[in-house]
Structure 1
Amino acid sequence: MADSQPSSDSVILAWGSGEDGQLGMGDWVDKEWVCSVKALEGRDVTAVVAGSRNSLAICDDGRLFTWGWNQRGTLGHPPDTKTESVPSLVKALDDVNIVQAAIGGWHCLAVDDQGRAYAWGGNEYGQCGEEPEKKEDGSKALRRDITIPQRCAPKLSVRQVAAGGTHSVVLTEDGHVWTWGQPWPPGDIKQIYMPVRVQGLERVRLIAVGAFHNLSLLEDGMLWAWGNNEYGQLGTGDTQPRSQPIPVQGLSGLALVDIAAGGWHSIAITNSGEVFAWGRGEHGRLGFGDDKSSKMVPQKVQLLSGEDIVQMSCGGTHSVALTRDGRMFSFGRGDHGRLGYGRKVTTGHPTEVTINLPPPKSSSTTTSTSTNERWFVKFVACGGRHTLAIANWINEQQEQTISG
């Protein structure tokens, strides 16, 4: 089903579950086809993040917009409403330039262009990095919810933030990794209120965090992992959890350029566009063609061979791959339309996601889509049961420039 004509040549795409307003469409309806988020057209969005039940977008001017589930203050303003289906500005961060953000189980993190980190949302496990408040009887207790974004990790100069189910991880400018909150499933270990440096990691280039597992890609190309491991998501060849980082097996000699972590699965991408996946395989989220096989060490996703993948995102039970020429392939659990295929199908076979949007009003093509013009996706983000993407309308000459 085609969407109405976009007013801008840059759009935010959304599909999947809409029950909490996380698609930003102004309603609470699931979308089985790719649709555009009208409220964000013309805002020059540079990044999007899809959480378990909410979403956010960062604009070129550093402004942050959020929408979706708000019962724990995850939208960054007082939870006067349980859900919000239209993107709204996070006013508490309007005086800083946000450059990157993350959504965890029910908390959010962001970092500005000065390396200052912020946190808000659920905080009962210390995931927002706030010290416990002292009560009248002398005891200390955490605030359950932090509804207005506030500084966290104030002593750190942060480059990247990542959020897990109930914990937070940041990468600092000096290449170190720090963490706080509840890094294991609640009840397994005592939570950490203030940032603690992860030992054994130097010169880290990129981090990715799942529900309770963590990945760090070093400058030398080595990939390290730690945390929960019941489905082999650490890639260590077993299912034993690790409290300290350990090298991921089977990737030596590969030039890794990107990593991604879903709820219980992990992905790595090489500079030649090859994809390696491991961890929980239920619903086909690893892309190996079946719907259940978990992998305890990374294995090449042969079904994506030749597609030249440049970025991937992992959701709770599905994954989306982005090619160099701006196409998307999705696979995994299909209910609520989260795969964007127009039907609620679950599949382990990566299948291209069709973008049935008409040309923008600014395009020279006004009546039908020219073979020389099309929507080009440049970033994807998977949430619990929905997916977001950023796409630009390009012509053949622009495509040749992008492809290099």
Structure 2
Amino acid sequence: MLCSRCRLLHRMLSSHSMREASSFTKRIKTLEDRESTVHEHVGQHKQRVQRVYVWGYAGTGALGQRSFITPSNPRQKPRSKQRHPHRLAYLDEIVLKTNALACGYGFTVFIGQRDSKPVAFGTGINTDSQLGFQEYPKKSGRILDYVIQPVGIDLPLENSETKLLQVACGRAHTVIVTDQEGCFTLGNNAYGQCGRGIVEKEIYGGSQTVNRVEVEGIIKQVVCGQDHSLFLMDDGRVFSCGIGSDGQTGLGHYKSEASLSLVGGDIEGEDIVHLSCKGDTVLAVSGKGDLFGWGNSEYDQLSSVSNNETQVNVPRHLPFSSVGHVVRSASAGAMCLLLNDKGDVYVWGYGLLGCGPQVEQSALPMQIPPTLFGKNELNPDAQVVDLQCGLYHFAALTSDGDLFTWGRNMRGALGLGTAKDQYFPYKVHVPAEVMEVRCGVDHMAAICRSFI
């Protein structure tokens, strides 16, 4: 038994201990809250800035990151594959505002402004001078067949106020469109894809030839297949040149064409608003929402109109009435994609179509579920707004600035951080809002905008 004095002392000590314990607990919680709280201080005049990200095969120099090929640290090994998006900071260093870009077969071309002047830069394979005449050091006679960091492409511009609007790249040629000086073509012209006369046994390595293509009217879009070029005019007409062995020029024959020629067939008189081609199959979308196709059909790309033939040499209307009003398309090597005005995506052809591992071929369009592109109850307004493709993979850009890729993951071209192929659309983790994306055979590049 405790006396009254001892009981009082015990209560006082217990109360003090409890207050001390409570105070200690509060201090610990406060410290934990401070550590878990992230403070971001953004200036009043902070603006979102442009950033360019690249990924895929680095061995050709197409990613433009010099350290991937020749690391500054001797302990580091060269990196041949970049499996997730990497910021190409060099473009910021040279203060290049990129307006557009294009990915060819192992090379990349950027166009934009530098010091308020129109400029073009290229990196990667240059064996056919698709990046222009590149000599290093200057006047040394040492011609660069590979460029591992973006370098300037000399264009014979007559007016410094001229703007470079578009760029497209094929297997080994480049087409650049301007606002007042027509368009320029560089690189391999073995089939007339540069829109100039074919010269037998012409040597393209180390060539200083830059061809100016004059075409009546305003060029709305330029597209390059493997070895042919397509020009969409603002009045809806389509011109083509280059190889025609699969009927990909759409001129009604299978010969090569060295001059820009008007494409007829079922698109004659139609207001064509969009073209797509990465290989030898061409898709065209009209203002009415109809879809047309020509070229290679070995894998059911055009089987709905080809009558079991493997080539279609003139544009034909594709009777896909169930897909709705078409606004965009993408034509890869053996598979095709379309987008309608409701944001729905349909796929057909042969390959990793995006409908799972059990579906690899279809002659008719199949819809890819919208949920695979981020549309759900929490984000009901998300929808696909643009489509792009390489030879073996697809890319879809959404209204939220998210990028989804699927298909054959050649050398990490999907940007998903793995070496595995992807059987359905999967989001690429780009640390910025994607504004524009382009696909090569085994690499990709994107123009983005920083979040803050």
- TM-score (normalizing by structure 2): 0.74
Q: RCO higher in 1 or 2 (8 Å CA, sep ≥ 6)?
A: 1
User: Could you give the per-residue CA deviations for residues 142-188 of structure 1, whole angstroms, max 9, x where no partner exists?
Assistant: 745364322124455422211111111111232111111112259x9
The equivalent residue for 2:65 is 25
The equivalent residue for 1:108 is 174
Cα distance change on mapping 1:224 and 1:125 into 2, 3 Å: same
Cα distance change on mapping 1:268 and 1:19 into 2, 3 Å: same
The equivalent residue for 1:205 is 273
| Alignment map for 1:134-173 (pairs within 5 Å) | 141=200, 143-145=202-204, 147-155=208-216, 157-173=218-234
The equivalent residue for 1:400 is none
The equivalent residue for 1:345 is 420
CA distance in 1, matches of 2:100, 2:55: 17
CA distance in 2, matches of 1:258, 1:10: 25
Q: Which moved more, 1:377-386 or 1:169-178?
A: 169-178
User: Which of 385, 388, 392 is the aligned partner of 2:445?
Assistant: 388
The runs of 5 or more residues in structure 2 that have no matched partner are: 1-46, 70-79, 136-142, 248-252, 376-381
Letter in 2 for 1:49: A
User: Which of 411, 415, 420 is the aligned partner of 1:336?
Assistant: 411
Deviation, structure 1 residue 291: 6.8
CA distance in 1, matches of 2:214, 2:303: 30
User: Could you give the per-residue CA deviations for residues 280-304 of structure 1, whole angstroms, max 9, x where no partner exists?
Assistant: 22xx2x2111276122222211263
Cα distance change on mapping 1:9 and 1:231 into 2, 3 Å: same
User: Could you give the per-residue CA deviations for residues 338-358 of structure 1, whole angstroms, max 9, x where no partner exists?
Assistant: 111211011212111113x5x
Structure 1 segments of 4 or more deviating over 3 A? 93-96, 141-144, 153-157
Contact 2:281 2:332 in 1 (8 A): no
CA distance in 2, matches of 1:169, 1:381: 17
Q: Which moved more, 1:321-330 or 1:235-244?
A: 235-244
Deviation, structure 1 residue 76: 2.1
> Is 1:73 aligned with 2:148?
no
The equivalent residue for 2:49 is 9
Cα distance change on mapping 1:129 and 1:33 into 2, 3 Å: same
The equivalent residue for 1:367 is none
| Alignment map for 1:44-193 (pairs within 5 Å) | 44-60=97-113, 62-78=118-134, 80-93=143-156, 95=160, 96-114=162-180, 116-132=182-198, 141=200, 143-145=202-204, 147-155=208-216, 157-184=218-245, 189-193=254-258
CA distance in 2, matches of 1:112, 1:392: 24
Contact 1:333 1:346 in 2 (8 A): yes
CA distance in 1, matches of 2:358, 2:121: 35
The runs of 5 or more residues in structure 1 that have no matched partner are: 1-6, 134-140, 358-374, 396-404
CA distance in 2, matches of 1:63, 1:73: 17
RMSD across aligned C-alpha pairs, in angstroms? Answer: 2.5
Deviation, structure 1 residue 8: 7.9
Where is the strand percentage greater, Structure 1 or Structure 2? 1
Cα distance change on mapping 1:16 and 1:227 into 2, 3 Å: same
Deviation, structure 1 residue 129: 1.3
The equivalent residue for 1:300 is 367
Letter in 1 for 2:241: W
3-state SS of paired residue (2:90): helix
Contact 2:189 2:198 in 1 (8 A): no
User: Could you give the per-residue CA deviations for residues 71-102 of structure 1, whole angstroms, max 9, x where no partner exists?
Assistant: 01111224711111111121225544210111
Bigger CA radius of gyration: 2
Contact 2:323 2:340 in 1 (8 A): no
3-state SS of paired residue (1:267): strand
CA distance in 2, matches of 1:249, 1:52: 32
Letter in 1 for 2:445: L
Letter in 2 for 1:392: R
CA distance in 2, matches of 1:352, 1:156: 39
Deviation, structure 1 residue 189: 3.1
Deviation, structure 1 residue 276: 1.2
3-state SS of paired residue (2:155): helix
3-state SS of paired residue (2:209): strand
Q: Which moved more, 1:286-295 or 1:109-118?
A: 286-295
3-state SS of paired residue (1:129): coil
The equivalent residue for 1:361 is none
The equivalent residue for 2:354 is 287
Contact 1:131 1:142 in 2 (8 A): no
User: Which of 344, 361, 368 is the aligned partner of 1:274?
Assistant: 344
Letter in 2 for 1:352: K
CA distance in 2, matches of 1:113, 1:89: 20
3-state SS of paired residue (2:450): strand
Deviation, structure 1 residue 254: 1.7
3-state SS of paired residue (1:92): coil
Contact 1:322 1:329 in 2 (8 A): yes
Deviation, structure 1 residue 268: 1.3
Deviation, structure 1 residue 279: 1.9
Contact 1:126 1:142 in 2 (8 A): no
CA distance in 2, matches of 1:173, 1:142: 36
> Is 1:322 aligned with 2:390?
no
CA distance in 1, matches of 2:104, 2:156: 19
Cα distance change on mapping 1:389 and 1:258 into 2, 3 Å: same
Cα distance change on mapping 1:252 and 1:148 into 2, 3 Å: farther
CA distance in 2, matches of 1:118, 1:92: 8
User: Could you give the per-residue CA deviations for residues 210-248 of structure 1, whole angstroms, max 9, x where no partner exists?
Assistant: 311111111111111111111122362665321111112
Number of aligned residue pairs: 360
Deviation, structure 1 residue 318: 1.3
